[in-house]
Amino acid sequence: MTDRDTLLATARAELYSAVVADTLDSLGHREQVVAPGLTALDDSLTMCGFARVGLYMPIYHDDETVNVYEHEIALVDDLKPGDVPVISCNGDLRLSPWGELLSTRAQVLGSTGCITDGCVRDVRQIREIGYPVHCGGRNPTDTKYRGKMMWTDVPCVIGGVRVESGDFVIADMDGIAFVPAAILDEVLSGALAKVRAETTVRDELRAGARLSEVFARHGIL
């Protein structure tokens, strides 16, 4: 496996959004968790991967010059194993930029999930293939006549967090945390150390230790 493959396998096996959020906080990065409102289509799935940003703008018509799907198709076809499309619609819930067929192609390419602050459609089919998606809502309308992806691999803001392609993301039933690429090694090392220490804390609590004693000993809650 490549280093990226190993990182993703380790994160998927051991980490979750809360411990990553705590580690980001401890390092002074306290604005990296997406505001509540983007929810998982399937709470049982955890998403770990690397952002690929697509930025939408609203439109109100379509004709032969608009070519509404061009950038969306190009982004999906360019996904690499471990990539997570992060589709910013600036919270426009008229837009459903993600559905079953995009999920199918993305999954075949090894994408580990999708995040959008727009809506999603084809929810039943996406759940059936087990592809993780977090979204702002559900809406059966197409983006045609309503929105177009205009840029890819540019910075965006989603749920109050600035995201760039290459940033690490972990998303589960608790929420979504983004880790800037420049601090990824430090954050993941700290998060792994914390989650492994929490195992010790959990074992002591199960053995009957007082919470105050355990917190004084380990500083973990």
Binding residue numbers for substrate: 99-102, 121
Q: What is the 3-state secondary structure (H, E, C) of the chain?
A: CCHHHHHHHHHHHHCCHHHHHHHHHHCCCCCCECCCCCEECCCCCCEEEEEEEEEEEECCCCCCCCCCCHHHHHHHHCCCCCEEEEEECCCCCCCCCECHHHHHHHHHCCCCCEEECCEECCHHHHHHHCCCEEECEECCCCCCCCEEEEEECCCEEECCEEECCCCEEEEECCEEEEECHHHHHHHHHHHHHHHHHHHHHHHHHHCCCCHHHHHHHHCCC
Q: Residues within the annotated binding site for Mg(2+)?
A: 122
Q: Residues within the annotated binding site?
A: 99-102, 121-122
